């Protein structure tokens, strides 16, 4: 027997919470994009980095989330019983590619118009400015989730924007102008190394 709903309404989907969501607090930090089939941007970048490592193209890892541990139960095999998440004082990703130091942050937004700078911590901007001063390659990987668009935006642009217009958002028009398109693929998902070649190593 099929059920008829009044026009304009749909049955609510029952969403079963994913088991790993509970185990990994990082999943919640990026809004899921329908475009990439329920996988988060961060998952895609992690799998891309794994692909790069397996193919021996680059050695880039995600830094673990820093955690402030308050109490540990050593009677249970060093089980942490009380702890809090801390803010990363650096970016989330770094490593080495073609002898160069690589450092980047990933941001996903479901906004229709602009990337809120509130997403980017002042200390991350400072960190990226230092990395640039020391000759590292620094950038943001940005997902415009509603448009299924992916960009590499050089840190120079973001840091300058941040200094000149704090508390503002970066309009998508700027991201599309000053950023470089990354083609979404199957494997790797977010193939950003060819863009790094083009932008930083030519």
Strands 79-85 and 67-73 come out as antiparallel
Q: Which of 31, 72, 198, 201 binds a second copy (CB under 8 A)?
A: 72
Structure tokens belonging to residue 79: 């089980």
Point out which span in 3-11, 39-47, 81-89, 151-159 binds a second copy (CB under 8 A): 81-89
Q: In whole angstroms, what is the distance from residue 145 CA to residue 126 CA? A: 27
Q: In whole angstroms, what is the distance from residue 60 CA to residue 49 CA? A: 6
Nearer to a second copy, 85 or 147 (CB): 85
Q: Which of 43, 46, 58, 144 binds a second copy (CB under 8 A)?
A: 58
Give the x-and-dash track for 135-174 against a second copy (CB under 8 A).
xx--------------------------------------
Give the x-and-dash track for 90-129 against a second copy (CB under 8 A).
x---xxxxxxxxxx-----------------------x--
Q: In whole angstroms, what is the distance from residue 104 CA to residue 131 CA? A: 10
Q: Which residues does residue 64 pair with via DSSP β-bridges, in sequence order?
A: none
Place of tokens 């801390």: 86
Task: Report helix, strand and coil shares of the chain as percent, to nearest 5.
Answer: 35, 30, 35
Binding site for a second copy (CB under 8 A): 22-25, 53, 56, 58-59, 61, 63-72, 77-85, 89-90, 94-103, 127, 130-131, 133-136
């Amino acid at each position: 027997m099929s059920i008829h709903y009044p026009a304009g309404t749909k049955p609510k989907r029952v969403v079963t919470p994913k088991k790993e969501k509970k185990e990994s607090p990082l999943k919640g930090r990026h809004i899921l994009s329908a475009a990439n089939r329920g996988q988060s941007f961060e998952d895609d970048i992690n799998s891309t980095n794994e692909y790069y490592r397996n193919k021996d193209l680059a050695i880039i890892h995600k830094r673990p989330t820093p955690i402030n541990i308050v109490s540990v139960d050593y009677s249970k095999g060093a089980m942490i019983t009380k702890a809090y998440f801390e803010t990363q004082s650096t970016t989330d990703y770094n490593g080495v590619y073609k002898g160069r130091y690589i450092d980047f942050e990933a941001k996903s937004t479901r906004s229709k118009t602009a990337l809120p700078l509130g997403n980017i911590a002042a200390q991350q901007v400072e960190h990226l400015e230092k990395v640039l001063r020391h000759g590292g390659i620094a950038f943001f990987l940005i997902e415009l989730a509603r448009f299924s668009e992916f960009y590499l935006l050089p840190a120079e642009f973001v840091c300058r924007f941040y200094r000149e217009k704090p508390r503002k958002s970066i309009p998508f028009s700027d991201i599309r102008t000053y950023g470089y398109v990354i083609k979404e693929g199957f494997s790797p998902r977010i193939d950003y190394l060819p863009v790094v070649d083009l932008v930083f190593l030519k």
